[in-house]
Structure 1
Amino acid sequence: MQTLPANIYSVASVREIDRTAIEDHGIPGYTLMSRAGAATFHAARRRFPDAKRWQVVCGAGNNGGDGYVVARLAAQDGIVVSVLTLVDPESLSGDAATAYGDFVAEGGVVMRWRGELDAEAELLVDAMLGSGLERDVAGEFAKAVAAINEHAARVLAVDVPTGINADSGARLGCAVKADMTVTFVGLKTGLFLDCAPDYCGELLFEGLEIPEQCRAGVSPEFRRIDDALVRDALPPRRRAAHKGDFGHVLVVGGGDGMPGAVRLCGEAALRAGAGLVSIATAPTHAAVLAATRPELMPHAVEAAADLEPLLEKADVIAFGPGLGRSDWARLLFEAVATDARAAVWDADALHWLAQQPNRADARIITPHPGEAGALLQKPTAEIQTDRLAAVQALQQRYGGVAVLKGSGSLISAGAEVPSICTSGNPGMASAGMGDVLTGIIAALLAQGLSLHQAALVGVEAHARAGDTAASKGQRGLIASDLIAELRDVINP
């Protein structure tokens, strides 16, 4: 089994790679199917070594064919395996028919689905519908999905869990909830979007020995942030370095009653390596911030004029944490909006930006889906339905770099192929996490990374720190826990 590759494709593009391998490179389709089935079988043996009784549930097409290969190999290995089919095997054609025939020729027995699974099965293999699904699962297929989800056995999905749209990640009516999914040829966009990650379980990839030339002419929809990105972007510091080499971040926010947001943002910027961090905040907060984190340099700001000398000293602006929607916040927005420095905008800065839209090439915006909806004047549900289109629309409308936060945060920098972060966990769905991300990205900008690079590295570092912090449990994880893990992440 291979490491997950960076490129992620549409279903149509994966089919084109498959076609090129067969027609232009002479790899028989049944050879690819046999490799897919073998990869799935070996993955199952490694992940579920104690499962001695398997049941494979097959549909039509290549997904069902993969299932018959899995069943044949399992039987050869001495596993007690049974196969249920939801279609008449006599209706199978092409490679799927060959796989069925090979299984039966070796003594395999295929039974029609009658509404029940093997109650004693220890592993269920979903080989029903695969990546071609475009309409809601219905009829006997829906009943089979329900039976699989209610069964006590572990579940392995072949290529894509039945019921998940392989392009959008949407659940089409109902879907198999797998413990592991083994996907082939190319990663599909839908495996990373919408609710799909909740149904895929552990995701494994097998390229089926398809030559890389088959992928050369096919453009990905987006890319996973490369595992080496943080390491390559943040090399060891030279011995003669001083704080001035690592930039001055100015955090602007913290309206009355909200000092915590700027404190989290400022401390995250320090922990992510910024040389200096100043905070422009409401007068009532300045003394408190200085007492609780002396490395921060808080400044009381009563009016926009108080902000001007602070802006002049800053290299990067982190704008929005705890800003609020008061007249004071509006005045700060008007002052920052005309500044040309590199900046990261989040939280209430995005509220004001939605009210007074403008483009800025030196700005990174980091909305969550609700904020993205306001920026694009669309319902949040519509943003979530097509997150890839949403992040691209945000970048086109507002310039610079757009980060659409959420499970599988997406980053768009215009002409570049969008990127997705596959690190992170549900424990990070708690207050202050966005403030921390803003501080991290701002610190990376201050250290000389480009807007796009700072967004990519910042999102990935934030997620990895969250994963480390969640090692003690996701529930109860708070933003300060993540900050405590940053140093290990940014010093690879």
Structure 2
Amino acid sequence: MKLYSAEQSQQLDRLAIASGNFPGILLMKRAAYRAFQTLRQHWPQAKKLYILCGTGNNGGDGLALAQYAILEGLEVDIALVGNSDHFKPDAQQVFSELTQLGVISQNFSSAKLEEADLVVDALLGIGLNKDIEGKLSDIINQVSQAHKPILALDIPTGINATTGQIHGCAIRANVTISFITHKLGLYTGLGADHIGKKVIDDLNLPATLFEQIPSLADFHDLAYWQNKMPKRSIAAHKGSSGTSLLIGGNHSMAGAIQLAATAALRAGSGLVKVISQPGHLQTLTEQQPELMTYPTKQLEMLLTQVNAIAIGPGLGEDNWAQKLFQQTLQHSMQSPTPLVMDADALKLLAQNPQQRPTKPNWVLTPHPGEAAQMLGCSTQEVQSDRLAAIRKLHEMYGGVIVLKGNGSLIFDGEQMELCPLGNAGMAVGGMGDVLTGMITSYLAQGSGQGMTLMDAACLGVYQHAAIADQVIENRSLTSLIPSDIIDGL
């Protein structure tokens, strides 16, 4: 599935109209009809609608929806936010048609809001690029406080359709029907909390139209990435099934490296070796006998004997951690063995800008806070434009970047992938450690068999999120823990 920016979506709309086969008024009426169908599907008992319209084409969609609702016998009130003289031609035509039907738009009314069974948000659409203030901000706040069910057309007002950023304030919809394209902002960033259930309708535009505009990002199903994993030979043995080395677990952090190492085992690595604090080694093997544990003095030897390496889970930033980090980084500069860096390793990497390989063979998996440290900015800046953040991370660090969070992004410098899976229950310590172990295991198993860094990173992210979604089907969201992901492998 292809994901587009707001600008690309508008460009596709213009291309459709310019083709001569899809007049703007036809697209507006078609969008409104699909929106009305969605409304009836989700709120079949609704009899009284309050449609909030701006003066752009999004407002025109709302006005056209009002026509269908009136013809079906629903009671409709329209609040026009703006001057009707400013309507664009297609929206002006629909407005004139409504006037001929005897429907008169009015200023926003809190009383009409309270009377409504359902609110339709057709205020601004996807062109928003600045914070909402003044009268419109007051209206959004009143709508929020009314706790009415809301259908948003194209995107909830206040959400950036490209980044998912909230521009000051935003409508929180129960259902959003988005037209023509899957917009990136529906799937990532803080605004995703405001989307509700997503309905995407391409308005029956031909596939050839979409081929004219390269997508901003893509997402695939889990099976697509699972098929990237080389099939295991019937004659396979532990040595041919990938050897993973995981480094971390400083004082009081043995659990982090245990989660990562156990995840690597469950994800299929034939051998999993661990470097950790001496006091942790016996405990790790007692709790997971399949792990092979080693003291730090054997790191140099082990680095040359494995198919994939990970460093970071529970690593810390003290002298012990920095020594392991430097050894591993130096090895990475001279060896083709793929490396996964997470957690504290990313912080140490950010502190050593002069030591980055020219062509790194690594996967970096920062969460927004770690990404902010790596970029020298605030977490809020990262979250306000995750697309720009991951591109900057790749520019600075290379390899493959996994920017974790809602709508995790994976980028190798050319291909941008967004994972639409996962849930808020994953916001718990240790989830990232499990992901690190999984990606490392997939790299180890795919070593020499054509599996790329991007393949392994995407498979890890998708599998990790898919299992999390499966778990909460039978349990509460807040009961999800990292060990559940390992159990689901």
| TM-score normalised per structure 1 | 0.92
| Residue 384 of structure 2 is aligned to residue 385 of structure 1 | yes
* CA–CA separation in structure 2 for the residues paired with 1:182 and 1:299: 55
* 1:176 alignment partner, SS class: coil
The aligned residue for residue 417 of structure 1 is: 415
- Matching residue within 236, 240, 243 for 1:245: 240
Instruction: Extract unaligned runs of 5+ from structure 1.
Output: 1-5, 487-492
Q: Aligned equivalents of 1:283 and 1:465: distance in 2?
A: 33
Q: Does 1:397 align with 2:389?
A: no
SS of aligned partner of 2:462: helix
- Partner of 2:59 in structure 1? 64
Would the aligned equivalents of 1:318 and 1:343 in 2 still touch at CA under 8 Å?
yes
Deviation of 1:225 after TM superposition, in Å, equals 3.9
3-state DSSP of counterpart to 2:94? helix
Please give the alpha-carbon distance, in whole angstroms, between the structure 2 residues aligned to 1:80 and 1:245: 69
In structure 2, the residue matched to 1:489 is: none
Q: What is the rounded CA distance, in whole Å, between the counterparts of 1:294 and 1:382 in structure 2?
A: 44
The structure 2 residue matched to 1:454, chosen from 453, 456, 459, is 456
Question: 1:66, 1:14 → 2: CA distance?
Answer: 16
CA shift for structure 1 position 300 = 2.7
Q: Does 1:476 align with 2:472?
A: no
* SS of equivalent to 1:317: strand
Aligned to 1:21: 16
- Specify which of 301, 304, 311 is matched with residue 303 of structure 2: 311
| Shift in CA distance, 388/93, structure 1 to aligned 2, threshold 3 Å | closer
CA distance in 2, matches of 1:418, 1:361: 18
425-434 or 391-400, larger mean C-alpha shift: 391-400
Q: Deviations over 1:47-89 (max 9, x none)?
A: 2223232221111111111111212212222333322222343
TM-fit CA distance, 1:235: 7.0
Equivalent runs, 1:223-372 vs 2, <5 Å: 223-234=218-229, 237-301=232-296, 303=297, 306-339=298-331, 340=335, 341-357=337-353, 358-359=356-357, 360-372=359-371
- Provide TM-score, normalisation by structure 2: 0.93
Alpha-carbon distance, 1:115 to partner: 4.3
Structure 1 residue 104, shift from structure 2 partner = 3.7
Distance, in Å, in 2 between the alignment partners of 1:88 and 1:364 is 52
After superposition, the C-alpha distances for 1:269-307 in whole angstroms (9 at most, x for unaligned) are 112121211111111011111111112222232x3xx21
The corresponding residue for 1:490 is none
The alpha carbon displacement at 1:30 in A equals 0.7
Q: C-alpha offsets along residues 210-246 of structure 1, whole Å, 9 cap, x if unaligned? A: 2222222212222224454234224764543333332
CA distance in 1, matches of 2:360, 2:70: 60
**8 Å CA contact retained: 1:220, 1:417:** no
Q: SS state of the match for residue 50, structure 1?
A: coil
Amino acid at match of 1:136: D
Give distance in 2, aligned partners of 1:173 and 1:355.
34
Structure 1 range deviating more: 325-334 or 226-235: 226-235
Hey, what's the Cα distance between the residues in 2 that align with 1:330 and 1:139? 52
Corresponding position of 1:220: 215
Deviations 1:326-372 (A, max 9, x none): 21111111211122211111111112211223035211011112222
CA distance in 1, matches of 2:46, 2:201: 22
Output the amino acid matched with 2:393: L
Residue identity over aligned pairs, in percent, reads 40
Correspondence for 1:442 among 432, 440, 443? 440
Residue number among 197, 201, 212 corresponding to 1:202 in the alignment:
197
Which secondary structure state, in structure 2, belongs to the residue aligned with residue 110 of structure 1?
A: coil
Amino acid at match of 1:156: L
- The 1:52/1:274 distance shift into structure 2, 3 A limit, reads farther
Change (3 A) 1:116 1:168: farther
Distance in 1 (alpha carbons) for counterparts of 2:282 and 2:374: 34
- Matched to 2:481, the amino acid is I
Indicate how the Cα distance of structure 1 residues 118 and 190 shifts in structure 2: closer, same or farther if over 3 A, else same: same
Q: In structure 1, what is the equivalent of residue 112 of structure 2?
A: 117
Tell me, in whole angstroms, the C-alpha distance in 2 between the residues paired with 1:92 and 1:331: 65
Q: Map of 1:122-137 to 2, 5 A cutoff?
A: 122-137=117-132
- Cα RMSD after superposing both structures: 1.9
Residue 8 of structure 2 aligns with an amino acid whose one-letter code is: S
Alpha-carbon shift at residue 22 of structure 1 (Å): 0.6
- Which has the higher mean CA deviation after the structures are superposed, 438-447 or 112-121? 112-121
Distance between the aligned counterparts of 2:133 and 2:375, measured in 1?
Answer: 35
How much does 1:469 deviate?
2.1
Q: What is the letter of the counterpart of residue 354 of structure 1?
A: A
Counterparts of 1:322 and 1:338, CA distance in 2: 20
Alignment check: 8 A CA contact 1:7 1:223 kept: yes
Match of 1:182 in 2: 177
Is residue 313–residue 342 contact of structure 2 (8 Å, CA) maintained in 1?
yes
Q: Is contact 2:140-2:171 (8 Å) kept?
A: yes
Q: How many residues align?
A: 477
Q: Distance in 2 between matches of 1:174 and 1:316?
A: 45
